[in-house]
Homo-oligomer: A and B are copies of this chain.
Amino acid sequence: MVVAAPAVRNPTPPFSTDEDGYMTCENVRIRDIQNDMDTSPMYIYSKEQLVNNYKAYEEALKGLPSIIGYAIKANNNLRIVEILKDLGSGAVLVSGNELRVAVKAGMDMTKTVFNGNGKTYQELLYAVKCGCLINIDSEFDLEHIVDAAKEVKKTANVLIRINPNVDPEVHPYVSTGLAGSKFGIRNSHLKWFLERIKEEDVLSLVGVHCHLGSTIKKVDIFKDAAEIMLGFINDIRSEGFDTLKYLNIGGGLGIDYERIGEHIPRPIDLINTIRPQLTEAGLTIIVEPGRSMVGNIAVFVSEVIGVKTSGSKNFIVTDGSMAELIRPSLYDAYQFICLTQPGGSIETFDIVGPVCESADFLGKNRTMPTPVEGSGLAVMDAGAYCYVMASNYNMKPRPAEILVDGDEWRIIRRAETFDDMMSLYDR
């Protein structure tokens, strides 16, 4: 029996199901892309969704001086970064190589922030040269920035990363703003940082930064954090730092991975929560969206190798695995999974890959139509923290990335090959 069940739960264009039961991205059937590609699995992106997500931030920030700093760590595909740059986005960077990508994409460096608890000296030299805003994360980080600015002979515009100690109520692995975190300065030591910055002509203190975490679903914690940060800003300004201009509130908005219609705050909900304080303090806001910018723009599409049962459990075995998408295994993360084409009777399955360990699963206990061999399987909301964390575990090549734009699609990063993997043996 073939069931033309709607594949996508809570289908929100551009990802939808057509009348024949095939999943679509914009105006293209995903199955058609799969048929045309000679490698599997793959990531498929919607340009329309990316543009919509950017515009939601732009709209939310209307009337406020602001920088949208896209967090490249979520997805560093050069073509994605180029589209965001063309829309006017800046970028938040956590490594020298991410900065290289931003430079390659032609980003306006005055809209970039260099971030991180472990910047190397070489990375700092490059960031100062490029003119990025740079977050100070610790005592040693400050000293390294001073040394780099002196070597480059250029003023470094710096922000101080403060730990507001607000609990984002998320998985510990994506919680980053608590007092025991590896990020940010000791607040009790703030005076030392201010004194040290005053001593160094090569440093100009232009702002403060905090980042609460990721997958956040309550905006009131941003309000709490903003109020704490404004307290710090007042303290810092009273020390004579009249160059202070930026409040970097970080990123962290969650997305509707469950696709059960849960209310997830939109960018405008986040910004409106803190708009009055920002205006009153005459600050430029920096936001660092990653997941909420690119999370829902992509699906991870694999092909079913076979269906089996252990007696007590049914398995869909697919050619996609923890090598290409480790979030379910690493964070116990849920991503909705559906077929890209009609299936058979409804059953409950674990969806697993071919990698030789039990950590290799994409989803557990999923009730869905039974696929035939070769069926397409889509893991939704795979735009953020998916491809970027892909490995070659079991020597699986990194998959191709494809961008859909209306009726058209094209490969925006090709699949890795065995020869690519072997190239590291050349000298």
Contacts and interface: CB of A to CB of B under 8 A. Distances in A.
B311 A358 contact: no
A140 B354 CA distance: 13
Contacts of A141: 306, 308
Nearest to A392: B388
How many copies of this protein are present in the complex?
2
Chain A interface bracket (under 10, 10 to 19, 20 to 34, 35 or more)? 35 or more
A358 B211 CA distance: 12
Nearest to A143: B306
A95 interface: yes
A309 B358 contact: no
Given A306-B118, A353-B118, A416-B424, A97 B396 contact: yes
A181 interface: yes
Given A311-B186, A413-B424, A358 B172 contact: yes
A179 B139 CA distance: 53
A398 interface: yes
A335 interface: no
A18 to B, nearest CB: 28
Given A163-B310, A214-B357, A356-B94, A391 B391 contact: yes
A97 B358 contact: no
Interface in A124-151: 137-141, 144
Nearest to A356: B94
Please give me the 5 A-B residue pairs with the lowest Cβ-Cβ distance, nearest first. A118-B354, A140-B306, A97-B395, A173-B359, A138-B308
Given A101-B395, A120-B354, 17 more contacts: A78-B422, A94-B394, A97-B395, A97-B397, A116-B354, A119-B305, A138-B317, A139-B306, A139-B308, A173-B357, A173-B358, A176-B356, A182-B315, A184-B310, A389-B393, A413-B425, A414-B425
